[in-house]
Structure 1
């Protein structure tokens, strides 16, 4: 498609290479700590690491080097696991950072191309238009009604007009384009830009902790406080009973280790980071990992029409010429009256179009015109898209001072300032309704004559001669009907919020299976309602038309006040406030402006709304699996705590049944179980046909916490039974310890399997595809085998090899500890499947 010629051809590939060698890249230099060193520092400061270090020192002081060296090895393993978890998280976050980096448009080799902002070099011709963030400092050489917001540098948020005149042509990196288009030559990049010099970074986003993070941190904090109290209490009790200070400290540390649930925050970080990484591979960029937890709870999704529900092709399909009162089909566009309408519509478009409708107008004009006069004219004055509903006006002039003034926009807006009788206006509206009812996007076209150089302040002040209508068809996407059905099945309500009129939007919506076409509300009608009325209307209205930024924002706020979890799609600069206000702002990767992408929390790379089904499913799966992991952690910590403390507090025969060596071994097993196995669990059957969870719900309800405590108490009962079994049969301490430890390890294995589902039996869940499950369980059982058969390990853990009959008994007791919970799940299944009268 031929367009208005570019002012210059820009740099060649060779010139780009030379400029980069001479001036470097467009990347600010910041000193960052090594990822490995940061991870190591964080690992060393972990409470579990510090407890292990103290316990190790005590073993050496008590002249027990084997235990001391074992704990040194455990310290190395804890540090390695922490660093590995950190590496996985950092890798995922670095991928996020790469994919959320801004793009820039430049002219190179005579063509306009899109590149990463880091690839910009000195001398590049930078193209900045409405909705962009300026990617480097540059000097304007050509502009059309260009204005910019420099609040990031000045703190004053208002539009500043810029052009190629001396003293008003400098653009600064990080500023926001409010309107128009400018082509500017880059004169500073990276740390040498104005923004780089003052040390600000646009990529640094300060975020608060999410509700889930706060709940988890609060739980861990309470457990840590309990651990400190119990530690002090155990130390005092043992010291009073005549033990040395070192032995008392060691016993206190043993219990403190069993209480501290350090796996929980690690599991949260791992689940969110890896979840974000999985979404990236699905074409969904999550800018902040906290968004992952919110996805599964979305109750409403607000979507625009063009490009989200439809293909965003916007091909010119019909033309209505006011002069001949005729609607022309595509094969009739070559008739004179149709050409006139198309020509004025083209002049009312941007000279270098980026909007699909304007691209279509330029293409059709190019095909129909015998003589292309566009190169002879240049933009003289421009009124950008504005008004409610919006319109835009362009004034072109050639070398002989001949002017072309053309406007296009919403039919209501253009008719309001056109010279038409009431009858003529009614006829135009009738044609518009007819076209809109067929799903066409209809724009009005008009022109006027104006000789003075002093133009009216607003375009609405002109008296236009009405030319006709141009109608574009943008067909629904093939998968949109299935997408809507999936949202409805998942309990998510869909609302369409669009700038288009009700007739056009309704016609498209009917083709997609959208629910609520019959009840529409316009932006102006919405703004007349008070806050209470808006909150009430958004409950029952799903189709919002002729929307503008303030109206969109009001809808989002009203939905949030109704305790809905709101996801919203958007692509334009005017969508920014609403995207920012939504719980989940969704920008389009291909057609979205940089402003929309910056305001959003999630980007659909391929502009495919169907990917949001995958995102919601991933969010629900992650939340569900994280819940399983944390319930598992709580359940397995209870028997460890009670098995360590009850014999000690009650003065049983073997009060020190476990030492730090035993506890840390179980901790090393539990960590991978909750962070690796459960993170890799597939989505549970029927999860996407359940209603979204409420964000106001606590992470673990009283019922769920009770189930975990119940599971833990069952395992405790099993381990203490085998303890008393050993005492009753006068086994020595080492053999009793071996049986109790073996019972706990086996119970842990079956708990892992049982907690894969809180509805289906663990036998049913064996069919779930999770390749890590058999590996981790296999390694656990192999380690147990080594502990019971290698003499060095037997001595280290103060075990005694039991006979097969005792091993089978420990195995059966460990397995039986999950049977009560399996019976509970069976009762739940029978209750749900039972027929109702």
Structure 2
């Protein structure tokens, strides 16, 4: 219910608020009421990072040398390769930044404040300390504030506490001590919380970074984001190979310049060898896989803020999940009705067959709710009435008038509302709902009835239900009593309300368990409620529940030991979530953490992989996370895990392939230099192989479908290297076989006095066809070539078609042939090239069959 801006306060209201001058002065002193944001990466900054890649440096140097030699054609081609690589990376990185900007709400919510004795609506970022803010149902609190006035005020603080149930607020009677969010009858309201019932006026005590939400945001700046392990491994391997390639290139420069003369040509030869030995494809392939993985997972409504995190998710051993809004729908619904005569009804079964007593219970619960509800529990009564009471006219639809409302009071935790069905008649219907003990007191029940209600209440609460009592009364006239105790109430029964479990959660939890991932619920809710939700979700709740109070007493070693088997952590404070994640990491677990509230942000950032909810999640949580679920569907996590494992499998195939390809390329670049033969490759040939064939071929591996057992194997050990010793051996064997066959063809052709350009064409075609054989061999580590061929891979077919076209053009089209400095090949030469490639395929398939188990593929 919005209040008019610029409306003068009644004369009796002594609250005048700040003056405009005071507010402006404090705004200049304290700054805007907003959290500092991380600097956005600009395309220029991304480009600077890309230009640090050594391969680009070699391409640019090679292009510059060709310009000095006057070969403009070669120079432009090399520079074009460099520009394409820069453009691909910049486009992908800026796309991620734009998607994140689209998620962020760029306009701050507006606030109604009292300044100069007048109510004014201003942007929330302009609220300052000392401002008087006017709060009403549906308002988002713009800053931390102390209540000066309040009428039946309830606030939803779930973004800060994780609790879905709104808490009561009361006016401060004296200067109160500082309090934390959560708990009833506090005089504080907090930035980011939602007013779900009532109204009030509060004095702002803290804004921006000084607020409770800002305090959590500041703690994020003290945490370092978990670095991607694959990127670190790849960078280390690339550095080692670069050092080795640099030394060989320097040696080649000296030998070429000394033995053959022509130091400029020697530089080009050194660059050629450096390009052939430098595995710059490793970071390129990693980037391509992560970017394509981000695109694939986005089709499942999952945004990847840091693409490398997908791989880490595939190795997760523990998935820490919040309860409210993550496992549950963050939407209250009526789960059980228990009428006074003992009848029990659990929706959604038999809604159309409700007994008259159950209908009266649901109907009067609706009458005791606000006509336009913001409180999730009152919304549940409205939703239930529309579904379960289709024949009964609802008050908001049939002209009933709300004559009087008695709000919650600390001495009576119940809401009572008086409705007049007919404005011309004095008869009124009175309905009350609230804490069962409060409703029992209104109904003046005896001790026996109260004890029976208490037993029923305990049984319902043990199943995780929030229980409310409902009563009804009638009244004649307009002279209503001062308190609800003046009515003669009849007890109707109890209503159990629950935040329902998402339907997809049990299957998702089951998939996680089959994949060896332990699902751990971390919630601020009560232990029994947590146990009930965990049981419904399929989370193993047989272990002892670890509570926040117990965690406070545990030292770090003891906490790590308890967390080895724990699956439920209840009554957890926000800072304890961070401690839990850090303890799990110290216990060598790979930790994934889900959450949506501000209270989850530190744990999201500290985890190996943070997963935030994008629909209802806060900006702070999304900024801290690496993955954002756009549809807030818990089952999407399983999709991401499956994709992460598939990406890692295919990445190992691609990396092994690239490592194998470098052996013959480097060998064929060095062979003529050692034997004093004409050089086979120039920089343009190497650039073509490195910047076109290799990345395109790795796309074929990226498109490979998952292995059959991908979600039935345990997570890989966190310390397992991407390049294991068996994979290195396998790659070397493949590369050496190709080098021996293709190099042998080159030597035979040269010894038979084949022209240099024709020998170069024969060698190049043989090498490319052998690369195709390596692709086919490496499509699957666990199955044969025949089985792998049956798997659909449209990308591979497209690549093979493209490579065939390029090869045919390089041999048959004069312009392209001259560009590559090739001579026409005879048909028997092509037969030799095809035979070499076929030999590679057959030999490696046989070797893979015998070595698969030993190489642990």
Indicate the SS of the match to 1:540: coil
Q: Mapping of 1:441-456 within 5 angstroms?
A: 441-443=465-467
Partner of 2:61: 54
Q: Is the 8 A contact 1:786 1:793 kept in 2?
A: yes
Q: Aligned equivalents of 1:277 and 1:507: distance in 2?
A: 37
Partner of 2:701: 678
1:265 equivalent to 2:283? Answer yes
Partner of 2:390: none
Of 354, 379, 382, which aligns to 1:359? 379
Q: Mapping of 1:429-440 within 5 angstroms?
A: 430-436=455-461, 439=463
1:770 equivalent to 2:824? Answer no
**Cα distance, 1:605 vs structure 2:** 2.7
**Structure 1 residues 97-106 or 276-285, which shifts more?**
97-106
Partner of 2:231: 213
Q: Is the 8 A contact 1:145 1:381 kept in 2?
A: no
Partner of 1:302: 320
Distance 1:710 1:510, change over 3 A: same
- Unaligned runs of 5+ residues in structure 1 are 12-25, 109-118, 149-157, 162-167, 186-192, 196-200, 384-391, 399-403, 448-465
**Cα distance, 1:591 vs structure 2:** 4.3
**Structure 1 residues 215-224 or 726-735, which shifts more?**
726-735
Of 683, 693, 703, which aligns to 1:660? 683
Of 727, 737, 742, which aligns to 2:760? 737
Of 539, 549, 553, which aligns to 2:564? 539
Q: Mapping of 1:634-783 within 5 angstroms?
A: 634-648=659-673, 651-654=674-677, 656-674=679-697, 676-783=699-806
**Cα distance, 1:698 vs structure 2:** 2.0
Distance 1:653 1:238, change over 3 A: closer
Q: Is the 8 A contact 2:365 2:381 kept in 1?
A: no
Q: Is the 8 A contact 1:319 1:333 kept in 2?
A: no
1:492 equivalent to 2:499? Answer no
Q: Aligned equivalents of 1:279 and 1:380: distance in 2?
A: 47
Indicate the SS of the match to 2:612: strand
Q: Is the 8 A contact 1:97 1:287 kept in 2?
A: no
Q: CA RMSD in A?
A: 5.5
**Cα distance, 1:521 vs structure 2:** 0.9
Q: Is the 8 A contact 1:89 1:270 kept in 2?
A: no
Q: Is the 8 A contact 1:395 1:406 kept in 2?
A: yes
Of 271, 292, 298, which aligns to 1:280? 298
Distance 1:524 1:289, change over 3 A: closer
Partner of 1:293: 311
Q: Is the 8 A contact 1:499 1:548 kept in 2?
A: yes
Of 7, 24, 27, which aligns to 2:3? 7
Distance 1:661 1:600, change over 3 A: closer
Q: Aligned equivalents of 2:587 and 2:453: distance in 1?
A: 40
Indicate the SS of the match to 2:727: helix
**Structure 1 residues 215-224 or 530-539, which shifts more?**
530-539
Q: Is the 8 A contact 1:759 1:828 kept in 2?
A: no
Q: Is the 8 A contact 1:105 1:126 kept in 2?
A: no
Q: Mapping of 1:599-614 within 5 angstroms?
A: 599-614=624-639
Q: Aligned equivalents of 2:774 and 2:141: distance in 1?
A: 52
Partner of 1:811: 834
1:601-634 Cα distance to aligned partner (Å, 9 max, x none): 3332333211111111122222333333322222
Indicate the SS of the match to 2:496: strand
1:76-127 Cα distance to aligned partner (Å, 9 max, x none): 133134313432443344224323557877799xxxxxxxxxx99999x998
Distance 1:589 1:51, change over 3 A: closer
Q: Is the 8 A contact 1:128 1:177 kept in 2?
A: no
Partner of 1:454: none
Q: Aligned equivalents of 1:675 and 1:101: distance in 2?
A: 38
Indicate the SS of the match to 2:714: coil
**Cα distance, 1:519 vs structure 2:** 2.7
**Cα distance, 1:553 vs structure 2:** 4.2
Partner of 2:86: 82
Of 487, 508, 521, which aligns to 2:545? 521
1:649-675 Cα distance to aligned partner (Å, 9 max, x none): xx3151523222322222233343255
Distance 1:212 1:295, change over 3 A: same
Q: Mapping of 1:337-416 within 5 angstroms?
A: 353-355=374-376, 357-361=377-381
Q: Aligned equivalents of 1:331 and 1:517: distance in 2?
A: 36
Distance 1:430 1:502, change over 3 A: farther
1:825 equivalent to 2:848? Answer yes
**Structure 1 residues 370-379 or 668-677, which shifts more?**
370-379
Q: Aligned equivalents of 1:510 and 1:146: distance in 2?
A: 29
Indicate the SS of the match to 1:606: coil
Indicate the SS of the match to 2:593: strand
TM-score computed with the length of structure 2 as normaliser: 0.70
**Structure 1 residues 756-765 or 633-642, which shifts more?**
756-765
Q: Is the 8 A contact 1:217 1:265 kept in 2?
A: yes
Distance 1:807 1:516, change over 3 A: same
1:300-321 Cα distance to aligned partner (Å, 9 max, x none): 2233445444455533344679
Number of positions where the alignment pairs a residue of Structure 1 with one of Structure 2: 727
**Cα distance, 1:395 vs structure 2:** 10
Q: Is the 8 A contact 2:414 2:439 kept in 1?
A: no
Q: Is the 8 A contact 1:159 1:178 kept in 2?
A: no
Q: Is the 8 A contact 1:131 1:594 kept in 2?
A: no
Q: Is the 8 A contact 1:723 1:739 kept in 2?
A: yes
Partner of 2:483: none
Indicate the SS of the match to 2:279: coil
**Structure 1 residues 491-500 or 771-780, which shifts more?**
491-500
Partner of 2:424: none
Of 262, 268, 279, which aligns to 1:250? 268
- Unaligned runs of 5+ residues in structure 2 are 8-33, 113-122, 128-132, 158-177, 182-186, 202-208, 212-216, 346-353, 386-392, 419-430, 472-490
Distance 1:616 1:524, change over 3 A: closer
Q: Is the 8 A contact 1:759 1:825 kept in 2?
A: no
Partner of 1:97: 101
Q: Aligned equivalents of 1:194 and 1:537: distance in 2?
A: 35
**Cα distance, 1:352 vs structure 2:** 5.6
**Cα distance, 1:536 vs structure 2:** 2.6
Q: Is the 8 A contact 1:92 1:277 kept in 2?
A: no
**Cα distance, 1:255 vs structure 2:** 0.5
Of 218, 222, 237, which aligns to 2:240? 222
1:790 equivalent to 2:790? Answer no
**Cα distance, 1:351 vs structure 2:** 9.4
1:472 equivalent to 2:487? Answer no
**Cα distance, 1:332 vs structure 2:** 6.3
Partner of 1:463: none
TM-score computed with the length of structure 1 as normaliser: 0.71
Q: Is the 8 A contact 2:197 2:374 kept in 1?
A: no
Q: Is the 8 A contact 1:339 1:368 kept in 2?
A: no
Indicate the SS of the match to 2:252: helix
**Structure 1 residues 590-599 or 281-290, which shifts more?**
590-599
1:391-417 Cα distance to aligned partner (Å, 9 max, x none): x9799999xxxxx999859x9x999xx
1:436-493 Cα distance to aligned partner (Å, 9 max, x none): 46x451347799xxxxxxxxxxxxxxxxxx9996422455443333222222222222
Q: Aligned equivalents of 2:814 and 2:666: distance in 1?
A: 28
Q: Aligned equivalents of 1:354 and 1:288: distance in 2?
A: 36
Q: Mapping of 1:165-180 within 5 angstroms?
A: none
Distance 1:147 1:633, change over 3 A: same
